[in-house]
Amino acid sequence: MDKTAESGFKPPYLSFQTFWAFLLLLSGKPLPPAIDRSLMDTKSGSDQVYLFSALRSFGLIGPKNEVIRRLQDFATATEAERKRMLGNWVLENYSAQMTLSVENATEAQLSNSFTEVFNITGADTKRKAITFFLHAARMAGIELSPHFKATRSGSGAPGVSKGPKAKKAKPKPPPGDTVDKTHDRSGQGVETKKVDLGAAGSATITLNVEWLKLPTPIMIELRAILDQFDGLAEQVAKPLNVNV
């Protein structure tokens, strides 16, 4: 068995963007002696559980959620140093997957490794764990097998310039998720999202934000909140199964 499994590492399977944004948010202020749920009051209950699990898995907090040296070092590091630290976390804990990457393994072989090394059998859980791994590795600047699944820059991976693209017609929002955007004279965006919650009714959120004036960690955090809001309809249709 791979040493990562023997060490008790449990691959996170929350959104990498949510994890990374939370680390940046923590780093924007002096760290408390321990991490508690009051620091995650904008997160759903399931995301709070996943965040604690991810922080423990990467050795950033102790068994009583106390802040330990690795998180302190991350909080005081530069952006480049933080990405290098993230790369070390990936190499330490996903050694079998990194070996496959060096061998130019396929997406199916990567998927099998998460079952064999980490004993993840649930299809949805494994998909999320693999997606987290891919985003983390690419955020750290680690070159991966060309056969591994591509990831979108908006979900946490580093952006890649692909040159100008032909303009496409803007797609209509899917049923149950409507978006209305207007702009006032100052150029400030007014964005409204509505999610159909079935028999329970609907929920609407409106933002009146000048995105470019927001600090980067806050902008990332706010986008993560919007992503969670978009997923409410799916959660109502299919209750989330939390395995922690």
Q: Where are the domains of the chain?
A: 3-155, 177-237
| pLDDT averaged per 10 residues in sequence order, the chain, 244 residues | 60 96 96 96 93 97 96 97 98 97 98 97 96 98 96 51 50 53 47 73 76 60 67 58 48
The answer to whether the beta carbons of residues 244 and 12 sit under 8 Å apart is: no
The answer to whether the beta carbons of residues 121 and 115 sit under 8 Å apart is: yes
pLDDT tens, residue by residue, 67-79: 999 999 999 999 9
Question: Interhelix angle for 16-27 vs 45-57, to 10°?
Answer: 80
3-class DSSP state of 141: coil
Distance CA 200, CA 221 (A): 27
pLDDT of residue 173: 54
pLDDT of residue 227: 65
pLDDT of residue 242: 46
Distance CA 142, CA 237 (A): 37
pLDDT of residue 212: 57
Within 76-189, residue ranges assigned H as helices are 79-93, 95-102, 107-118, 123-139
